[in-house]
Amino acid sequence: MLKDVMSEAKDRMEKTVEALYNDLRTIRTGRASPALVERLQVDYYGSPTPLNQLAGISVPEPRVLAIRPWDRNTIGIIEKAILKSDLGLTPGNDGQIIRLIIPQLTEERRRDLNRQVAKRVEEGRVAIRNIRRDAIDMLRDFEKEKVISEDDFYTGRDQVQELTDAFIKQIDEVGKTKEAEILEV
């Protein structure tokens, strides 16, 4: 029982860290990265479709993203989706390729982005703590039902706390890496 609870908590915590990492990849820095737009939802024949399923995304220059739609008829809807997004980028197209020029970030914009990162990192920490609470509640229920002993409960609780500390440390490292990337000039 103890191993099952630990395994489930670890799996959920790993998914939380992965979700935070993927979420932070979409925050714009001073460099072009396909991750900025690949999950952007485009209204393709009435259904929201990720951009990376409609076009090839490349980085021909450090501050330029090139989006080459597989179907040229989709250029207009891809442009509209980019304009509607919160990226703050204006697309330019030549009929075949959409180019997004990533401008240099201002100091104020960097501070705003760092606040966004800090907020999302804190949300990740809260999610990890909620997983810890769920695991400890599960252990407490097992103890009340006499499935595990009181000693096993306390041992399990300590193991869950160690796991929580390790994953919060990972979340903090992901956040610090992203903040350093944003502050890089």
Percent of the chain scored above 70 by pLDDT?
A: 98
Let me know whether 90 and 112 are in one domain.
no
64-91 average pLDDT score: 86
What are the residues whose beta carbons fall under 8 Å from the beta carbon of 181, sequence distance 6 or more? 29, 31
Domain end, chosen from 79, 101, 123, is at: 101
Let me know whether 95 and 112 are in one domain.
no
Let me know whether 57 and 97 are in one domain.
yes
Residue 1's pLDDT is: 80
| Complete DSSP assignment for 10-24 | HHHHHHHHHHHHHHH
DSSP state of 103: P
Instruction: Write the pLDDT tens digit of every residue in 11-37.
Output: 999 999 999 998 888 777 777 788 888
pLDDT at 86 over 90: no
Let me know whether 39 and 95 are in one domain.
yes
Let me know whether 68 and 87 are in one domain.
yes
| Complete DSSP assignment for 20-52 | HHHHHHTS--SS--GGGTTT-EEEETTEEEEGG
> What's the gap between Cα 28 and its chain centre?
12
Task: Please state the φ and ψ torsions of residue 45, each to the nearest 5 degrees.
Answer: 50, 45
Instruction: Write the pLDDT tens digit of every residue in 89-140.
Output: 788 888 889 998 888 878 888 888 899 999 999 999 999 999 999 999 999 9
Let me know whether 144 and 177 are in one domain.
yes
3-state helix, strand, coil in the chain (%, to 5): 60, 15, 25
Domain end, chosen from 50, 73, 101, is at: 101
Let me know whether 59 and 86 are in one domain.
yes
The CA–CA distances, whole Å, from 109 to 27, 103, 134, 181 equal: 12, 11, 38, 13
Average pLDDT in the chain:
89
pLDDT at 185 over 70: no
d(Cα 76, Cα 69) in Å, to the nearest integer? 10
pTM of the full predicted structure? 0.74
CATH of the domain at 17: 1.10.132.20
Domain end, chosen from 51, 78, 101, is at: 101
Residue 100's pLDDT is: 87
Let me know whether 86 and 148 are in one domain.
no
Percent of the chain scored above 90 by pLDDT?
A: 43
Let me know whether 112 and 176 are in one domain.
yes
> Which residue from 30, 55, 19 is spatially nearest to 40, judged by alpha carbons?
55
Let me know whether 112 and 178 are in one domain.
yes
Domain that holds residue 48: 34-101
Let me know whether 96 and 119 are in one domain.
no
Number of domains in the chain: 2
Q: Is the pLDDT higher at 38 or at 47?
A: 47
146-170 average pLDDT score: 93
Let me know whether 54 and 96 are in one domain.
yes
> What's the gap between Cα 139 and its chain centre?
30
Q: What is the crossing angle of helices 107-144 and 2-25, to 10°?
A: 170
CATH of the domain at 88: 3.30.1360.40
145-150 average pLDDT score: 90
